[in-house]
Structure 1
């Protein structure tokens, strides 16, 4: 399918849904079920024959990780509401208790499918000479090798725990994985119950010596069972099972905490001790052990899931081994933009020439790092301001900020302590920045700061020039290798002033006024979006072309969805690329017949947030108004977070976003799922042997338009490539 074919194709016939009250909650799809639907799509990539084998295993691992986090945060919250008797319905009309029933049924089916795929992939891995063994498959040579591994790499950190009146049941932390044992003393026949927590500090799989081209791995629990006599001398095993607990991992922080950092350090310790929301246990566990564990952990039958297979499928990522290039995605090296090369790596010179938009991971995130490293070492730079929502453990960005502060530059870092599951890392980073002399601020207690902004103020002649970076993703060099995001660099004075006002707001709590080219939530970002949607409605009613293209991770904010419904009913053509959660029902007659929703799940994680309005000229067109944002269209992002939405006015960057990034996403066939009115998704059918356009491959093969240098062509590359 070419770009022209897709963009000119008719919208499918609308679906009649007379059983739904489209004026009430039925017009929305449930958020939690939509998320589960996304994780089903992730899991189904593990069965996609177009995906290399070890990458399919990685998709299975990701699906398992996703589901664990979903339960420790979302389900834990709903469970608490239901226990308190809260019957307030979600926007789709379901109470917390009703949602839990649907979630648990679908999640149990998902767990079963994960185990089925594990068995399928295990057989295919064996055919590819990657073997997952159990203790009964071992030779004497293997046992000798493993005895040494156990003694020197495992035994010193194990803590076998007897369970009796003198040894009460121990605390099992969130994600804790343990073996429960029924043991019998060989002489007295006395029964002993014991736990053997499996340390997370040790990798889940032990690789054994193998012939060239073969890889053999033994799960750690099999190694432990093999050496029970060393852990419990004088006892023999009568029965065992494995279990894993998921605990409530949401954090609650006192609104008036005097010391926000100290409060979060305490809250992180509480997280480990949250209530159990789910326990996975091996099928056919000895009844005495199962009862003991359930009683001690205070879990009910509906919170227990029996697993006929491997518990902790997330750990399968350890088997994605670099040595098997033939079973991985082809090697890909991100590009350095030609324009930066033209200026011998000088970011300021490249940005001074004109605005530049980089598309990660296709263009290397190293340019963002270089921007800050260059600023730290440039004697003409006087100030740097930076938001940090998520970043890596040994972050080169934090290194650059520390270097700049130690060099006497004015450095302000906004560190978001409430970045879920990164709170501890962010506390460490903030302490380090403070020691270097940087000003560290933490923003608002009530609102997370999710905006991605960096400013560098540079003395050039007799004036100060502000260089600004606006991003759609985090300042995280590791995730930037797999997340698709946009980095917009500019020295436009208006955008620089807007960014400075946002930083002053974060540090001084003074609401920014007279923003020139930027909207900010929770103040005017949502109203700006709705106003732009209403403007498209006016164009449609005036008989002009009216169209909206948007791309994001999630869409559930009811006022925005209702605005899109109004636009559809007025004749505005709306194409949405929503990776994950979508509460909008597309293609419903009388409600949303002019709305299409697709989800792209493939090699890279779609993460950029973009919205394009035809502005009376349709799309693509030079009249289009084009925006990039840090915000998904969710209640939390638009109403309870600090987020940014900026309009891109540079013609080259606009063309890149509309006719390259968005057009390729809309034209994708190879990785596309289409949403149905009932909330389900169907993969686009691809006839065997047929060409299927893959937007990820297109972006790998074609440089970003605004990053082209003097050697680059001025036209937009055609949406084709040699093969899928």
Structure 2
């Protein structure tokens, strides 16, 4: 949680809604009479009175919230967790760090992309009616307010930490003994990593790396009036701690303050006249078209190199920075000083608070969560026999363990003499993942192993190049997917020689094959033994390894970019057609983001037909619920808790013939049209009930749920006196434990001869 946040200091409750990401800063409301067909707007008043009320114009920009602004509101909800006193203190610090890290990535990816559009003179408006330049301006307004609130919250957190004996000191608060100890520690363990760089006619302005923290030092030689500048990088990226421990207790001082007050080490014999601290963020949108690439690996490596030198999109400085130096920095970095320079009243680079959050003080953290082994997999039998007997097994991570399910699936496939081949996709994983070892072991055992590695997984490109090379060196067939499309699907196919011929076993998931994030991301997976799904998986991997698309007919799986979007739109329309009083329609979507305008429009149409629509959307969401005559039957809920919500679920009541779909795809234009995605039906009645329970638990959350208002703002729910104060994630932990106990009790009853029922 890659991955699954607004109050003033001291507030225990949310008294006001978060400022809305509205179409207009002057009017946050939407009046139905303004959303009418464009042709009717030009009619004279007298003629209009004779007409029936026209249907709303579902293309009106006012109906669509902006993707960037709604994502920023999500980050505001993350930040809110840092202030919520119901959350343990070090977890609150962690949420502040997450909010800082998220904002860094927002500038690298989203602002970087918008700036490229501005540079290309793109004037086309988004579905919500904004040009790229307008989006940047509105985002900057939001960010400056968000940034100020974050620093206020950090100030409160520092006070709360101090009460627990965790103190972040200013350098001027250190005693002479403390300063001597810190200077020695710095000299012995960090100073060798520091490299000063002069800035003068003989030394041009140096390269400034992404997200680096820097000192701009003003110097002169003794008895010399001529001044010079030097840049000193704070070596956090080289492994130095941002928070330098003072003594043996939990007392810390910022590394940049230690460096700034010991510059005589770097510049002996020179007079230090002053210093400024600054931080930069570079654009991460450096992808180039692979259409004509002879060597995709070389292309990605070249792109990564270009990213290091990509344009800077943000400069952060402290208040009181010398105006001349501030202006020079902006000019050297090719930034607009008025727009792209952000003053931070506090600590630059709040993502580094992860260091404080990592302190080993259990009483200031969430209770350790231990995922259970899935009840169906608590057996020493072959996992393939278990899956074959069950037909399908639903996995709920992190409530159920990844290691004893997905990893076990691959581990046994690697050693089972009856397994002939393994095929899988890898979008993100850990270099320490045992999955890589199992794939290599399988190849060494003579099995055919093919892996589709997505080299363009943002910020994991270098790691994926390394793992692809490692797999190839082990004799594994590695491909990089289809030209022009990212492979975002999460699927494993195991081909096994069963007693009655070759049989296919499949895992389809909503999350990455990443053992570390599987403990902090909330995801679903399906282990399935099904002939048609197995055949579809085979067709998919043939497509991914060849890129050939003619006449590939999928029977059960819904694939993007060819089938999924059309299928979703048809299912939404079908729900509206089937809806009536006796059999009311109902749609539930759970996903990270809902951005595709065609899907939003279809949902509005279904809601206007009377269909009840529940949307569990973690971050970006274009839909506006509660608009009279349009979306009164819709509600949008965002869950923000200790686990990052990452599962994708599509539910349609379908006139009583319910459909449950899970998979890798969010309802975003990029996912539905520019990525390879896989969505699978879940048909076992008990597994459907498990998904239904999960969805209802989250829709009823009174602790971690934020509900969107008609103007696009969010309000955090609060439990009433008679309502459960626990979050849906806490309840899902309890439900998983209860399932486990029920199965254990059932086994004991069977062992004693009492029999029992199949619980899952």
TM-score by length of 1: 0.93
> How far apart are residue 689 of structure 1 and its match?
9.5
Which residue of 263, 266, 284 corresponds with 1:228? 263
Which residue of 691, 708, 711 corresponds with 1:678? 711
2:376 matched to which residue of 1? 339
**Correspondence list, 1:279-290, <5 A:** 279-290=315-326
8 Å CA contact 1:417–1:423 kept in 2: the answer is yes
8 Å CA contact 2:181–2:247 kept in 1: the answer is no
8 Å CA contact 2:705–2:716 kept in 1: the answer is yes
8 Å CA contact 2:246–2:252 kept in 1: the answer is no
> How far apart are residue 35 of structure 1 and its match?
0.8
Q: Deviations over 1:256-289 (max 9, x none)?
A: 1110000000100000111111100111112332
Q: Deviations over 1:442-500 (max 9, x none)?
A: 01221111000001111122411211100001111111111000011011121111111
What SS does the corresponding residue of 1:456 show, helix, strand or coil?
A: strand
What SS does the corresponding residue of 2:736 show, helix, strand or coil?
A: coil
| Alignment partners' CA distance in 2, 1:450 and 1:313 | 30
Which residue of 654, 662, 666 corresponds with 1:628? 662
What SS does the corresponding residue of 2:576 show, helix, strand or coil?
A: helix
- Larger displacement relative to structure 2 (537-546 or 116-125): 537-546
> How far apart are residue 348 of structure 1 and its match?
2.1
1:96 matched to which residue of 2? 132
> How far apart are residue 697 of structure 1 and its match?
0.5
What SS does the corresponding residue of 1:473 show, helix, strand or coil?
A: coil
Which residue of 426, 430, 436 corresponds with 1:388? 426
2:194 matched to which residue of 1? 158
1:239 matched to which residue of 2? 274
| Alignment partners' CA distance in 1, 2:708 and 2:252 | 40
Q: Is structure 2 residue 346 aligned with structure 1 residue 312?
A: no
Task: For structure 2, list consecutive stretches of 5 or more residues without a partner in the other structure.
Answer: 1-28, 37-55, 747-755
Q: Deviations over 1:29-70 (max 9, x none)?
A: 111111111111111111111111111111111111111111
What SS does the corresponding residue of 2:327 show, helix, strand or coil?
A: helix
> How far apart are residue 151 of structure 1 and its match?
2.1
> How far apart are residue 332 of structure 1 and its match?
1.0
| Alignment partners' CA distance in 1, 2:286 and 2:116 | 13
2:616 matched to which residue of 1? 577
**Correspondence list, 1:603-682, <5 A:** 603-617=642-656, 623-658=657-692, 660-682=693-715
What SS does the corresponding residue of 1:577 show, helix, strand or coil?
A: strand
1:470 matched to which residue of 2? 508
> How far apart are residue 372 of structure 1 and its match?
0.7
| Alignment partners' CA distance in 1, 2:521 and 2:90 | 19
8 Å CA contact 1:549–1:613 kept in 2: the answer is yes
| Alignment partners' CA distance in 2, 1:424 and 1:349 | 38
Q: Label 1:347 to 1:63 Cα distance change in 2 as closer, same or farther (>3 A).
A: same
- Larger displacement relative to structure 2 (436-445 or 687-696): 687-696
**Correspondence list, 1:401-420, <5 A:** 401-420=439-458
> How far apart are residue 207 of structure 1 and its match?
4.2
Q: Is structure 2 residue 205 aligned with structure 1 residue 172?
A: no
Which residue of 137, 148, 152 corresponds with 2:173? 137
Q: Deviations over 1:641-669 (max 9, x none)?
A: 111111111111111111x2111111111
1:78 matched to which residue of 2? 114
2:43 matched to which residue of 1? none
Q: Deviations over 1:594-636 (max 9, x none)?
A: 111110001111000001111223xxxxx42111021000000
1:372 matched to which residue of 2? 410
| Alignment partners' CA distance in 1, 2:219 and 2:472 | 53
Q: Is structure 2 residue 604 aligned with structure 1 residue 565?
A: yes
Q: Is structure 2 residue 387 aligned with structure 1 residue 351?
A: yes
TM-score by length of 2: 0.88
8 Å CA contact 1:609–1:628 kept in 2: the answer is yes
**Correspondence list, 1:167-566, <5 A:** 167-199=203-235, 200-208=237-245, 210=247, 214-254=249-289, 255-301=291-337, 302-341=339-378, 343-344=379-380, 346-354=382-390, 355-366=392-403, 367-511=405-549, 513-541=552-580, 543-566=582-605
Q: CA RMSD in A?
A: 2.1
- Larger displacement relative to structure 2 (16-25 or 587-596): 16-25
Q: Deviations over 1:368-408 (max 9, x none)?
A: 11211111122211100010001112221112111111221
1:10 matched to which residue of 2? none
| Alignment partners' CA distance in 1, 2:725 and 2:158 | 28
1:586 matched to which residue of 2? 625
> How far apart are residue 20 of structure 1 and its match?
4.9
Q: Deviations over 1:204-225 (max 9, x none)?
A: 43443556xx411121101212
8 Å CA contact 1:656–1:705 kept in 2: the answer is no
- Larger displacement relative to structure 2 (535-544 or 580-589): 535-544
1:7 matched to which residue of 2? none
What SS does the corresponding residue of 2:666 show, helix, strand or coil?
A: coil
| Alignment partners' CA distance in 2, 1:542 and 1:307 | 56
> How far apart are residue 688 of structure 1 and its match?
7.6
8 Å CA contact 1:652–1:706 kept in 2: the answer is no
| Alignment partners' CA distance in 1, 2:491 and 2:600 | 27
| Alignment partners' CA distance in 1, 2:284 and 2:553 | 40
Q: Label 1:206 to 1:67 Cα distance change in 2 as closer, same or farther (>3 A).
A: closer
1:8 matched to which residue of 2? none
> How far apart are residue 167 of structure 1 and its match?
1.5
1:46 matched to which residue of 2? 82
| Alignment partners' CA distance in 1, 2:468 and 2:562 | 27
Q: Label 1:209 to 1:30 Cα distance change in 2 as closer, same or farther (>3 A).
A: closer
8 Å CA contact 2:244–2:255 kept in 1: the answer is no
What SS does the corresponding residue of 2:300 show, helix, strand or coil?
A: helix
> How far apart are residue 195 of structure 1 and its match?
0.7
| Alignment partners' CA distance in 1, 2:240 and 2:86 | 29
Q: Deviations over 1:390-427 (max 9, x none)?
A: 11122211121111112211000000011111111111
Number of aligned positions between the proteins: 695
> How far apart are residue 566 of structure 1 and its match?
1.0
